[in-house]
Structure formats: C-alpha cells, structure tokens
Amino acid sequence: MNNAVAGFSKLSKEEKINWIAKEYFSNPSEAIALLKNYWNTDEKIQKLHDEFIENTITNFYIPLGVAPNFLINNKYSAIPMAIEESSVVAAASKTAKFWSTRGGFKATVINTEKIGQVHFIYKGDISKLELFFIQTKAKFFSETESITKNMQKRGGGILDIVLKDKTNLLPNYFQLHATFETKDSMGANFINSCLEQFAKTLREEALVYELFSVTEKNIQIVMSILSNYVPNCLVRAEVSCPVEELKEKHIPNPQEFAERFVQAVQIAEVEPYRAVTHNKGIMNGIDAVVLATGNDFRAVEAGIHAYASRNGHYSSLSHAKIENGIFTFWLEIPLALGTVGGLTSLHPLVKLSLEMLENPSAKELMQVVAVAGLAQNFAALRSLTTTGIQEGHMKMHLNNIINQFEANDDERILVHKYFKKNTISHSAVVDFIENLRK
Ligand code: MEV
C-alpha cells in the first residue's frame, strides 16, 4: 500500500519527483528520467510552466498544428490548433480549402454579455427585499468603482444588476443577477471581484436597513460566482453556396450530397445520442483553438453544452438547409473568450498563436473559434454521409499504430505503400508488421 504525504506542495520539484517515483513506480529512476526528459532546457520557460499550477513535475505535450487557408469574412487566416486527435487539423485544413473557393466563411458576433450571480438566502417579506434592492442598487455600482474603473476606460463594466426571486425553486433563495461587458478579457477575475463586493454591500446594507426585521437583516450569502453559461455572448458562423458548386471529386452528385447532409444535421437536431457525437465533432475544432489561444476550454465546453440543451432537450449546435438551390450550413454558439489577461501574455506559445491570428480582439477570436467548429462539423458530416469516417480517420491514425510498434524506416515505407491500396484497421496493420518481422 502507498503512503500518504504531508506538506507535499512545500517540497522542491526534485523532492516531489523523487517521492512520487519511489512511491508509485516499479522503476523509479526510469520514471524520473522520463519526467526530466520533458523539462524545457530554457530555464525561464520551464519556470513559467512550473508556476502555472501547483506541484508541477514536468510538462505534458500536445501538438500545436496549423490549419491554413481559412477565408473568414473575406480575410485569410491560418488557425493554430492544439489537439492530440490525429484527423482534426487535416480535416480543418481540407474544409478551409474547400470553402475558400466557395465564398469562404461568414462570421458575426451577435452579443458579448457575460453573467455573474450572488446567491443568497433571505427569510422574510419579499416586497421589503425588492424595495431594499431598488434603494441600494446605486451602491452596488459605486462600491465597485475601484474594480470597474479600468474596465470602464476600455468601454466595459457592469451592465445591469437585477434581483431574482428563486423561491419557487428553493425556499428563501434569491439572486443578484448581474450582466457585464468585459471587452477583450474573458473577465472571470473582474466579474468575480465585482460579485464579491456586491455580496459584501448586500450583507452590510441589509444589516442597517431600517425596514427589515432582525431576521430579514440577516441575509446569508451562499456564494458569488460568474456563470459559464453565457447565452447572450453569442457568435454565428456560416457557409453557403449554390448546391451545384458543392461538386468535387468525392461529391459527384451535389444535390444528393446536400440533401443527405441536411438529413444528417436534422437527425442531430432531434436525436440526443447523435447530437452529442455531432457536437463533439464541433468541439474538436473549438477546443483546439481555445486551448492554443490560452482560453478556458472547460468553461467553453460547459457553456456550449448547456446552450445545446436550452430548448429542453440536448440538440445539434449546427443547422443546415437547402433553399432556392442554395445550401447553407451554420452554427450559433456562446463563447466567453479573452485575448488579454489570463495566460494570453504569459504562455509563449499562446502569444505566438495569437500573433499568428494577427492579435485578434475577443470578438474576432470568437469568430475564428466558431468557424473552426463549423469547419470540423462540415468535415465530419461530409465523410459520414459519403465515404464513412474510418477511411480518413485511419489514414491519419496509421502513424500512431506504426509508432506503437516502433517500426524502423524501412518498415514504415512498406506499411505506407501497402495501406495506400488496402483498408486500414488496427489489426490489419499489426498483422502486416508482424508478417514483415517474421
Ligand atoms: C470524432 O472525433 C468526431 C466525430 O465522431 C464527429 C461526428 O460524428 O460528427 C467524427
């Protein structure tokens, strides 16, 4: 049985590694060597990474790829993507090229409003609480002035604060529901600081509010936190062209293709089992750009999936139609992103990714991310409704299988040659390599 450890975070990195290796590995020196092999030789870069989180022992690599040729609102972008799944960047690049000769992607930001809430318990007369809120509202703004000053200079700040009665859901449960504009920052720290001040003001002002009884004065703050559900921080991405222009090598009959494509989207609209996988494909594109640009992909994921369920059942994020001979495919997603603050000026590769995107505003980044999601979805549906997904997927995965078997250069060449003409599957590749080695 392994031992517990006291004060682990206080140990040096070397001590942490030694302890972990001794405690959990059959070959401690091998584990230590591997961990150290992934340290950056540039001490400055390594120190940065060490300090991103607690108890860093090494770096965990994920490839950073590029999908070029994305024509978005008539401007070309090369999109940085951090992702481990073999086919994602290839699919994005292929789709970018396809649409670049068909008008490109159109993207628009519909709104940029963020949300935060103070959740509290009030036991008493609701009309008195409502009056208290009206009379105190200005104070919520004035007492957060030191926090909002800089954001206001950048054109952002607190948009509004409303009192919400949630007693139909939980006894005595109320909220201060606040909306914010955070411009180019994701705004999590700004919003949470404002909310914690609102909570303080709420509690202190209630204590001295003359109309409240002793019980009513004693408002209990449960928590103050931003919401990652941002249905009013919305971006739309779209592609569209005459059906006959969809024609290419793999799409000999564009009308049939467009109809099957629309059906595939409709299935994802009505069938949650399919919708989850359909949206997962969209997230392949979204997460990769979100990660490469130093944004919080967990927040983005949580918010987007909540949005996918907004009508009471989980549904497709994208939609497609054929109208008057025109094929249109689009999605609308909530995205709270930042291009300043957070990791954006800290992580050297995030800085590089943002520079590759020509240092976009948060709104421009929202558009790029939405386009990457739509492109990924287009690529998946195009394969699924024509050749099937495995052909392209396994082609990209072939190198991973070869690497598992530590094939030498000669074996690699033979494997690639053979599987150019033969169907790739894990077992077929394994059989082929084993036969070679006999
Ligand atoms: C695989 O990562 C994503 C797909 O399953 C998405 C889809 O089915 O639409 C190919």
Centre of ligand 1 to C-alpha 368, Å, is 20
Nearest ligand 1 atom, CA 88: 2
Distance from C-alpha of 61 to C-alpha of 63, rounded to nearest angstrom: 6
Strands 234-242 and 326-334: antiparallel
7-42, pLDDT tens digit by residue? Answer: 999 999 999 999 999 999 999 999 999 999 999 999
User: Pocket around ligand 1: residues whose beta carbon is below 6 Å from it?
Assistant: 85, 277-278, 280-281, 284, 380, 384, 389
Catalogue all structural domains in the chain, each as residue range(s) with its CATH number. Answer: 8-50 (no CATH), 83-107+232-387 (3.90.770.10), 114-227 (3.30.70.420), 393-437 (no CATH)
Distance from C-alpha of 186 to C-alpha of 171, rounded to nearest angstrom: 33
pLDDT for 338? 98
272-321, pLDDT tens digit by residue? Answer: 999 999 999 999 999 999 999 999 999 999 999 999 999 999 999 999 99
Query: Residue 308, exposed/middle/buried by CB under 10 A (0-12, 13-18, 19+)?
Result: buried
431 carries an active-site annotation: no
Query: Residue 410, exposed/middle/buried by CB under 10 A (0-12, 13-18, 19+)?
Result: exposed
Distance from C-alpha of 204 to C-alpha of 166, rounded to nearest angstrom: 22
Query: Residue 386, exposed/middle/buried by CB under 10 A (0-12, 13-18, 19+)?
Result: middle
Distance from C-alpha of 399 to C-alpha of 403, rounded to nearest angstrom: 6
Distance from C-alpha of 438 to C-alpha of 411, rounded to nearest angstrom: 12
Distance from C-alpha of 347 to C-alpha of 339, rounded to nearest angstrom: 12
Place of tokens 């969809």: 246
- pTM beyond 0.85: the answer is yes
Which SS3 state, helix, strand or coil, does residue 69 take? strand
278 carries an active-site annotation: no
Average pLDDT score over residue span 161-169: 98
Query: Is the predicted pLDDT of residue 1 greater than 80, yes or no?
Result: no
393 carries an active-site annotation: yes
